[in-house]
Amino acid sequence: MTGYGSTANIQHMGIRIQGVPAFDDNYIWFIGAAGSRRVAVVDPGDSDPVIKVLERDGLELSAILVTHLHGDHTGGIRDLLHRYPVPVYGPWDERITMVDQRVSEGDIIRLGEEVALRVLDTPGHTRVHACYYGDGLLFSGDTLFAGGCGRLFEGTPQQMHASLEKIAVLPDETLVYCAHEYTLANLAFARTAEPDNTDIRDREVEARHLRDKGQPTVPSTLGLERMTNPFLRYDDPELKASAERFAGRPLTSGAEVFAVVRHWKDTLD
């Protein structure tokens, strides 16, 4: 993914969301009220594409939201603050030094009068991670991906399982804006884990078609994730049986199935 182009603007319930590519496979998400020039950005790992889109489209940066500490999500913040003195919202992680508005579970971030996002604490990928949810939109960072979930760099399988369970209760129509274009690789593993799941096969065909045209596979919907994402399907009998074959032993809980499936994917990456 190169250049400073952006995905098509998506309007949802009076909110405009625009994805800007960064690095090889990151998305930086712009959020604002439809018709307004004021926008917030989520996880600006690189300032250059953000600045170019702001200037090209005549937009005004109003806030920065951070999901976790990794540099491909935070690396552009310092330069952006030199140009635009805006608040930076993020979780209570002392390592993210640019955050001046610390948030945690249940806090509401208001981006103007039209946009309100609720904070979900979702550790697992890192020991501190936040997702942002509101008006049918979920900005999931590196917790939930299209067809997958984040690696466990600092957190435990139990933490990530609990975080995904928190997300899984949101409505099916929730639009999931994750931070990376990992969908094809994720679905290849999902097909390995559930070879008889026709929903996964159909989704993989559609995702490949989109990528062949240079289009993003994000956002997805939470309903689609429940049908095709093995990391939300830890209670499915077929997936459980596959995980038990890989582990060579019975698995007695959804959390245990999740842990085995996460380890299984790690061995293939």
* Mean pLDDT, the chain cut into blocks of 10 residues (269 residues total): 47 87 97 94 98 97 98 98 98 96 98 92 98 97 98 97 98 98 98 98 98 96 98 97 98 97 96
Does some domain include residue 21?
A: yes
Does some domain include residue 2?
A: no
Q: What is the pLDDT of residue 24?
A: 96
Q: Say if residues 128 and 91 touch (Cβ distance below 8 Å).
A: yes
The amino acid at residue 230 is P
Q: Which of 46, 93, 121, 142 is catalytic?
A: 142
CA distance linking residue 175 with residue 136, whole number of Å: 6
Residue 70 assigned as binding residue: yes
Does some domain include residue 111?
A: yes
CA distance linking residue 10 with residue 124, whole number of Å: 29
Q: 3-state SS string over the chain?
A: CCCCCCCCCEEECCEEEEEEEECCCEEEEEEEECCCCEEEEECCCCHHHHHHHHHHHCCEEEEEECCCCCHHHHCCHHHHHHHCCCCEEEECCCCCCCCCEEECCCCEEEECCCEEEEEEECCCCCCCCEEEEECCEEEEECCEECCEECCCCCCCHHHHHHHHHHHHCCCCCCEEEECECCHHHHHHHHHHHCCCCHHHHHHHHHHHHHHHCCCCCCCEEHHHHHHHCHHHCCCCHHHHHHHHHHHCCCCCCHHHHHHHHHHHHHHHC
Q: Which of 125, 129, 161, 236 is catalytic?
A: 125
The amino acid at residue 217 is T
N-terminal to C-terminal alpha carbon distance within the chain: 20
Does some domain include residue 117?
A: yes
Residue 129 assigned as binding residue: no
Range of the domain at 114: 10-268
Contacts of 150 (CB under 8 A, 6+ apart): 124, 125, 141, 142, 143, 144, 160
Does some domain include residue 248?
A: yes
Q: Say if residues 133 and 115 touch (Cβ distance below 8 Å).
A: no
Does some domain include residue 5?
A: no
Cβ atoms within 10 Å of 142's Cβ, excluding its own:
25
Is 68 a residue of the active site?
yes
Residue 82 assigned as binding residue: no
Is 12 a residue of the active site?
no
Count structural domains, the chain: 1
Is 73 a residue of the active site?
yes
Q: Which of 43, 46, 72, 93 is catalytic?
A: 72
User: In sequence order, what are the beta bridge partners of 131?
Assistant: 120
Question: Whole-model pTM?
Answer: 0.95
| CATH number of the domain within which 246 lies | 3.60.15.10
Does some domain include residue 30?
A: yes
Residue 180 assigned as binding residue: yes
Q: Which of 68, 93, 121, 236 is catalytic?
A: 68
Is 180 a residue of the active site?
yes
Is 142 a residue of the active site?
yes
Does some domain include residue 251?
A: yes
